[in-house]
Amino acid sequence: MSASPQQTPDRSSSAVFPHSADGSAAGGRPQGPVPTARFEPVTAHLVVALVALVVIGGATRVMEAGLACPDWPLCYGQWLPGGRMNLQVFLEWFHRLDAFVVGVALLVLSAASWLGRRDLPPWLPRCALGALLLVAVQGGLGALTVTRLLAPGLVTAHLATALLLVALLSGLHQALERQRLISASAEPTDARDRARLPLWWRSLALLSLALVLGQCLLGGSLASQWAAQRCLSAAEGCQWLLRHRLAATPAALTVAALLPASLALPSAEGRLRWFAAAAALLAALQVCLGVATLRLQLGVPAVTVSHQLVAALLIAVLGAVVGRSLQAGSLPPQRPAAAIPGFTSSAQTAHG
Ligand code: HEM
């Protein structure tokens, strides 16, 4: 995701982002908007829409509404199945509508970033295209889950692709924001643009994202086979539950380790410290929700769906940590906002 200034010197952030966040001159640089800034609202809204998509998908499964619309892509042969509408049909129909909106937004993001790629860092159109391909795969998997009557492998792959999209878009958003803050700095950029966060931090961030994604895959397999219910009621399929419970410990501990580790980062990395704290909190909450799900014998849909919501939020926060950490360039040292030329209030908020 990070730009490689050594290989493509004309694409270093000082070349690609020659302006301050609000377009005013920074350190003698020319005026004009940062070219990537216009993509940030799109990526921010996409993260929210994708998390909502995962949660509605979870509610659809828990409410056994996965086949409430028996055909695809229409529902009972209609765009809006008014006469058939009930809670289950609404969940499945709204899930498809949200997926359609996400697909169109990703198409626009991809097309706009490819058309404007001469002024953009190369990772932006590549990530946008990757997300577009993932959403196409996701649409295909969604169709197959209906036509193949919710085959467990397909349901799990559908969840995994959705969570990959959440991580990718969340990481992309943070990389864009960090790049804007770097380009807003008035300081000489050459050495700073090449600086990266330490390898141990980037490795830890990637490891926690990979472990939580793996844990979600195990959870998806468990849920799509209704193995937890079968284990509790008939002692069948308990190995899936056992694997999910065992894998929770290393995943949660690695996420928790981000918090003390983040204290060793440069002082300007306040946003990463904030994300590390949020991730640790979400991991603890997720374990509590998992235990509660079992204690309640999976009988309270709100608790089961919350377990999926927190999983999606955790992936979004870890994706943000990875995206922000892989982005080349360190932030300028923290200074009073008034001392930073062209530093807008939104940039100050983002700097966190
Ligand atoms: C980092 C920790 C964890 C993560 C990221 C995680 C993630 C997930 C995910 C994504 C699902 C699939 C939900 C769905 O498709 O509806 C799931 C299911 C499940 N998880 Fe976890 N989980 C974690 C820890 C735990 C723990 C500690 C327990 C219990 C001790 C637990 C119990 C369950 C159960 C029972 C299900 C199946 C729910 C169903 O069949 O509806 N989880 N988990």
3-state secondary structure 299-333: CCHHHHHHHHHHHHHHHHHHHHHHHHHHCCCCCCC
* Mean pLDDT of the 112-126 span: 92
Dist. CA 156 → ligand 1 center (Å): 13
Q: Among 23-32, 89-98, 125-134, 340-349, whose mean pLDDT is lowest?
A: 340-349
CA-nearest residue for atom 16, ligand 1, is 58
Q: Could you tell me how far CA 45 lies from the centroid of its own chain?
A: 11
CB of 219 shorter than 6 A to ligand 1: yes
More confident call, 258 vs 20: 258
Confidence class for position 156, pLDDT limits 50, 70, 90: very high
* Mean pLDDT of the 80-90 span: 90
Q: Burial letters for 1-15: b for 16+ Cβ neighbours within 10 Å, e otherwise? A: bbbebeeeeebbbbb
User: Residue 75 phi/psi, 5° resolution?
Assistant: -120, 115
Q: Is the Cα dihedral 292, 293, 298, 301 positive or negative?
A: positive
Q: Is the Cα dihedral 8, 14, 18, 22 positive or negative?
A: positive
CA atoms of 158 and 257, how far apart (whole Å): 29
Confidence class for position 195, pLDDT limits 50, 70, 90: low
CA atoms of 185 and 175, how far apart (whole Å): 16
pLDDT greater than 60 at residue 20 = no
CB of 54 shorter than 6 A to ligand 1: no
> Which residue from 222, 233, 314 has its CB within 8 A of the most atoms of ligand 1, so it is best to mutate?
222
The pTM (predicted TM-score) of the whole model is 0.84
Q: Among 26-40, 76-90, 131-145, whose mean pLDDT is lowest?
A: 26-40
CB of 220 shorter than 6 A to ligand 1: yes
CA atoms of 85 and 22, how far apart (whole Å): 47
* Mean pLDDT of the 69-95 span: 89
Q: What is the pLDDT of residue 328?
A: 66
The percent of residues above 70 in pLDDT, for the chain, comes to 80
Confidence class for position 245, pLDDT limits 50, 70, 90: very high
Q: What is the pLDDT of residue 303?
A: 96
State both tokens at 126: 């590549």
CA-nearest residue for atom 19, ligand 1, is 219
CB of 327 shorter than 6 A to ligand 1: no
pLDDT greater than 90 at residue 128 = yes
Nearest atom in ligand 1 to the alpha carbon of residue 293 is 35
If you average pLDDT over every residue of the chain, what do you get? 84
More confident call, 166 vs 336: 166
Q: Is the Cα dihedral 134, 128, 204, 350 positive or negative?
A: negative
Dist. CA 143 → ligand 1 center (Å): 24
| Residues listed for the chain | 352
Tokens 């966190």 sit on residue: 352
Nearest atom in ligand 1 to the alpha carbon of residue 311 is 5
- For residue 272, the SS3 value is helix
- DSSP annotation of 76 reads T
> Which residue from 56, 244, 285 has its CB within 8 A of the most atoms of ligand 1, so it is best to mutate?
244
CB of 308 shorter than 6 A to ligand 1: yes
Confidence class for position 343, pLDDT limits 50, 70, 90: very low
CB of 252 shorter than 6 A to ligand 1: yes
- Of 174, 170, 216, the C-alpha closest to 316 is 170
Q: Among 62-66, 200-204, 270-274, 280-284, whose mean pLDDT is lowest?
A: 62-66
Q: What is the pLDDT of residue 7?
A: 37
Q: Among 1-10, 64-73, 100-109, whose mean pLDDT is lowest?
A: 1-10
